[in-house]
Amino acid sequence: MAGPRKPTADHVLDIAEALVQTRGFNAFSYADISHAVGIRKASLHHHYPTKADLGLALVSRYRAVFLAALENIEARDEATPKRLERYTELYGSVLRKGRMCMCGMLAADVATLPAAMRKSIAGFFTENEEWLARVLADGKRRGEIEFEGTPASMAAFFVSSLEGAMLVARGSGDPAPFGDVVRHLLARIQTPGPRGQRRRKSPPRRSSNQR
C-alpha cells in the first residue's frame, strides 16, 4: 500500500528542487512542474503565484534542511576530522544522485534572479562558512587538527572547493574528480603530531662538498 501523499505544495517544491539541481532555475517552467505533479498551472499559481515566490521558497527550505544536517553532525560525539568528512558527504551524496548543490546551481544564474533569492542564496553560503569556521577553530583549539591560515579562510576554501568540484564532475560526467578533491581537502587539515605539534620532515642533509 502506498504511503500518505505529500501535500501538493511540498510535492511542488520536491519537483522544482530536482529540476533546479539537474537543469538550473531558468531551464524549467510552471508547465514542467504542473505536468510532473499532475495539477493545472492555475493550481500551481495558487501555491506559488510567481516563479520568484517558488524560488524563494525553494532556497528557504534547502537552507533549513542543510542547517538541520549541520546540527546533526555537530551533535555527534566525534572528532573534528570525522565531522569534516561528514560535511563533504553532504555534497557527495547529492552528486551520486546525479544532482548538484541547489544553491550552487542557482549561484550560476544569480545575475538573472530576483533580489530576495540572491540574498537568500548568499545566506546559504554564509551559514556554511560560519559553521565550518566554528568547527575548524574548535578542532584546532582542542588539538585535533592543524591547518594554515584562519578558520574563516579555510572554511571559504572548503566550500568553494566542494562547489567547484561538483561542477567539474558534472561537466566531465565523471564523479572521480570530486572524490580526489575531497581527499586533498581533508589532507590539508593535518592531524597534529605528538604534543599537538605538526610533524615536520627533517631537512635534507648537506653533502660533503657543501660544507
Domain ranges of the chain: 62-193
Q: 3-state DSSP call for residue 146?
A: strand
pLDDT tens sequence for the chain (211 residues): 445 556 688 999 999 999 999 999 999 999 999 999 988 988 899 999 999 999 999 999 999 999 999 999 999 989 999 999 999 999 999 999 999 999 999 999 999 999 999 999 999 999 999 999 999 999 999 999 999 999 999 999 999 999 999 999 999 999 888 999 999 999 988 776 654 444 444 444 444 444 4
CB 150 within 8 A of CB 45: no
User: What residues contact 40, with CB distance under 8 A and at least 6 apart?
Assistant: 34
Largest CA distance in the chain: 86
Top CATH class, 62-193: mainly alpha
Distance from CA of residue 211 to its chain's centroid?
53
Q: pTM of the entire structure?
A: 0.85
User: What residues contact 52, with CB distance under 8 A and at least 6 apart?
Assistant: 114, 116, 117
User: Cα dihedral sign for 8, 14, 19, 25?
Assistant: positive
Q: Which helix (DSSP H) or strand (DSSP E) does residue 63 occupy?
A: helix 51-75
Phi, psi of 74 (to 5 degrees): -65, -30
C-alpha cell at 17: 528542487
CA distance 90 to 95: 9
